[in-house]
Amino acid sequence: MGSMGRAETPAERRRKGPRFGANFMTVLEVSRELVCLCVDGVVADANSAGIAMLGAGSADQVVGRAFRDLVGGDYAGVIDDLLHLKEIEDSAFPIKVRHLDGGTFEAELQIHPARELGPAHAVVTARDISHQGRLARTARDSEDRFQALVERSMHLVLLCHGGRIGYINATGVAVLGGTDPSQFAGIPVSEIFAGDYREIVAADLGALLDEGGIMPMRLARLDGSTFDAQIKATKLPSQGAAPEYMVEARDITGQIRAVAALRHMNDTLEQQVAARTRELDEERARAVEARAFVESLLEAVPNPLWWKDTRGRYLGYNGAFRELHGVGPTDWIGRTTAEMVNPGFAAIASQADTQALAEAGRVQFEAHLEVAADRALDVVVNKTVWHGRDNRPEGVIGVMLDITERKRMEAELRRLATTDVLTGIFNRRHFMEMARIEVDRARRHGRPLVALMLDIDHFKRINDTHGHPVGDVAIKALADVCTQIIRHEDVLGRMGGEEFAIVLTETDLDGALLVAERLRQAVAAIRIPAELGTVAFTTSIGVAERLEGDATIDTILSRADMALYSAKRSGRNKVAVG
C-alpha cells in the first residue's frame, strides 16, 4: 500500500464492533432490545424488537413520533436535551417506556451521540428490566424477620458502644420501667445495674465482656426498684477503639422465688424441682438455638450477600461472599467497593447504591466482576435499602448471582442456531431471516439491493478425486474469501452443499457486478494442498437486483439462481445477470 500503510480488512473492521455508519441499523436489527435512531428528538428508524416492545404492529406506527412521548418518569422532562445532545448521559439510566396502548414498562435506557450521521442524530437503546428484583426482595424480607425477632424478643436486648447504650428493644424498655427508648439512649450501661454490680461494671467493663457466659446479676428499674436477672454480654465486630457489644438480660426474679419456696417444701417435691430445672434448661437451650438461627441465617444464603452503610463501607458479608473473593471475615470491613474490585464494576455498584438510597427502593443491574487476575464473572446484583430504628435508610444490602455460565450458554445457543458449523457463516434459515429484513428495509426506504448466488464449479469432481475432506476445505475456503471481500453490513449464508448466497445492501447492479467479479477472481486464485496434488477451482455467480415489484427475497434469489445456471451453461467461471 506504499507510504499509507496496510489497508484495514473487513474482518478487522468487524472486530472493532458496530459503528454508526449509514447501515448500522442492519446490525442492530438482531438485538432483542429496543434500538432506534432519532433525529431532532424524532424517531427516524427502529428495529423489530423495539417495535414489538412498544406494542406497535409495524414501524410506521413508531417512525415520526417524538421520542419524549414514548417515555415517562423523572427523565421525561429532559429527554429532548439528551436527544439534541445538549446534555450527555454516559451510562444507562432507568426510565418508564410507554406502550402505544398507554401502558408502561420499566426499562434501562441509554442515548448514544451519533453526530457522524448528522446534526442532532442519536441512537437510543432500551432494555426491559420489569421482571427483575426478586432476589432483592428476598434479602429485604430476611432483614425484616431479623428486626422482628429482636424487637419482639421476650428478653431485654441492648446494643452498646463503649460504655453507653445505643439501642434498647421494646421488651427492655418495659422491663426497666420505661415508656420510650429515648429514656435510655446514650446513658452509661452501668446505670441499669443495681448496688455493687453498678460499680463493678462502671469500673471494669472489660471484665463483663470477658466473662462470655450467662451471669446472674441484679438490675435497677427507673423507679429505683431492683430485680434479679441473667445477663449475657457478646462482643460485636468494632470499627473504632471503643468496644461494641450486645447485652441480653432475662428477669429471673420469679424463678429465684420459686426455687426458694421449693427449698422449704417436703422432700416428696424434689422430683418436681428436678423437672422444673430440666424445663428451664430446655428453655435456655431453645433461646440459644433461636439466636444461633438468626446469626447463621445470612451464612446459610448460598449466594454472595453483603451489607454496607450509607457511605458505601462494608459492615459485613456472608460465607459465600468470602469464598468468592477469597477474603477473611473482617478483611473488607470498613472498606468501599471502589477500593476492592475492578473500576467498571465499582462505578456501576456505586451508582446503584446511590439510586437505592435516594429512592428507598430496590435496584438490579448486570455487570462484569473481576474476582482475580485471571478470573472474571458475569453477575446480576440486586440491592435494597435497610432502615434503622427511625425508619431512615441506614445502608444497602446486596445479593449477587453468578450468570457467567448462563451467558456462555446463551451465546453458544445463538451461535449454533444461526451459523453453519463448517464455515462459521449464517446457515440457510438465519440467512433467509436476515435477507427478508433487508428486503423489507430496502422497499420501505426505496434503497437499492442486490442478491448473488454462487457455487463451486465441478464440485463433484473435487469430492470424487480428492475425497470429501478436501471438498469441505474448498467450501470453507470459498466462505472465507466471501467474508473478506463483502462488507460487514452485507448478508452471507450457506444455502447447502457448495452453494452460497449474498445480499449486498445499499448497492446497485453496477456495484454488485464489481463485487461479483472480485469474488470470481479471488476464488480462482485459491490453492488447496492435497495428497494427489494442489486443488484449484472456480465459481459461477448469478446476480439479480431488487426490482420495484419484488415483494420477497425469494423472488430475487430465484432470478439470481437462474442467472447462476446461465453462467454454468455458458462455460462456468463467469458472472451472469438475471
| Residue 122 sits in the same domain as residue 163 | no
Residue 413 within a domain: no
Contact of 505 with 490, CB cutoff 8 Å: yes
Contacts for 356 with CB less than 8 Å, ≥ 6 apart: 362, 363, 383, 384, 385, 396
Least confident of 260-264, 342-346, 527-531: 260-264
Q: For residue 240, what pLDDT is reported?
A: 64
Q: Model confidence over 539-572: pLDDT tens digits?
A: 999 999 999 989 899 999 999 999 999 999 999 9
DSSP string, 440-483: HHHHHHT--EEEEEEEETTHHHHHHHH-HHHHHHHHHHHHHHHH
- Cα separation, 58 vs 108, in Å, equals 23
Residue 433: other Cβ atoms inside 10 A:
16
Of the spans 60-69, 334-343, 475-484, which averages the highest pLDDT? 475-484
Residue 432 corresponds to which cell in the numbers above? 433467509
Q: What is the CATH number of the domain that holds 512?
A: 3.30.70.270
Assess whether 55 and 155 both reside in one domain: no
90 and 58 within one domain: yes
Together in a domain, 106 and 156: no
Q: Do 439 and 567 share a domain, yes or no?
A: yes
How long a stretch of residues is the chain? 578
- Tell me which of 209 and 367 has the higher pLDDT: 367
Which residues lie closer than 8 Å to 481 by C-beta, 6 or more apart? 519, 522, 523, 526
d(CA 113, CA 38): 10
| Domain range for 25 | 2-128
Which residues have a Cβ under 8 Å from the Cβ of 204 and sit 6 or more positions away?
Answer: none
Q: Averaged over 309-315, what is the pLDDT?
A: 91
Q: Does residue 135 lie within any of the structural domains?
A: no
Q: Of 382, 407, 432, which closes a domain?
A: 407
Same domain, 153 and 275: yes
Strand order in the sheet with 499-505: 491-496, 499-505, 449-456, 539-545, 575-577
Decide: 503 and 516 in contact? Cβ < 8 Å: no
Task: Check whether 2 has a pLDDT greater than 50.
Answer: no
Asked whether residue 95 is assigned to any structural domain, the reply reads yes
Same domain, 234 and 188: yes
What pLDDT sits at residue 466? 94
Q: How sure is the predictor about 6, in pLDDT bands with cuts at 50, 70 and 90?
A: low
226 with 330, same domain: the answer is: no
At 3 the pLDDT is 41
User: Do both 91 and 23 map to the same domain?
Assistant: yes
In a domain, 144, yes or no: no
157 and 264 fall within a common domain = yes
H/E run at residue 129: none
pLDDT at residue 75, as a whole number? 63
Residue at a domain's end among 98, 128, 158: 128
Q: Are 114 and 121 in contact (CB under 8 A)?
A: yes
Our count of domains for the chain comes to 4
Q: The whole model's pTM is what?
A: 0.41
Asked if the structure places residue 257 within a domain, the reply is yes
Locate 449 and state its grid cell: 439491493
Q: Are strands 305-309 and 393-402 parallel, antiparallel or unpaired?
A: antiparallel
Q: Is residue 444 part of a domain?
A: yes
What distance, in Å, lies between the first and last C-alpha atoms of the chain? 36
Q: What is the pLDDT of residue 228?
A: 92
Q: Is 258 in the same domain as 322?
A: no
In the predicted model, what is the mean pLDDT of residues 244-249? 87
Question: Could you give the CA distance from residue 324 to residue 315 in angstroms, rounded to a whole number?
Answer: 17
pLDDT band with cut points at 50, 70 and 90 for residue 77: low
- Give the domain-ending residue among 259, 294, 329: 294
Asked if residue 258 lies in contact with residue 276, where contact means CB atoms within 8 angstroms, the answer is yes
Q: Is residue 46 part of a domain?
A: yes
Torsion of CA 216, 221, 224, 229, to 10 degrees: -10
Write the CATH number for 198.
Answer: 3.30.450.20
Mean pLDDT lowest for which of 28-32, 154-158, 168-172, 458-462? 28-32
Clarify whether residues 320 and 288 are in a common domain: no
Indicate if the pLDDT at residue 1 is higher than 50.
no
Confirm if 491 and 430 have CB atoms less than 8 A apart. no
Residue 241 confidence (pLDDT): 64
Q: Residue 299: inside a domain, yes or no?
A: no
The answer to whether residue 22 scores a pLDDT higher than 70 is no
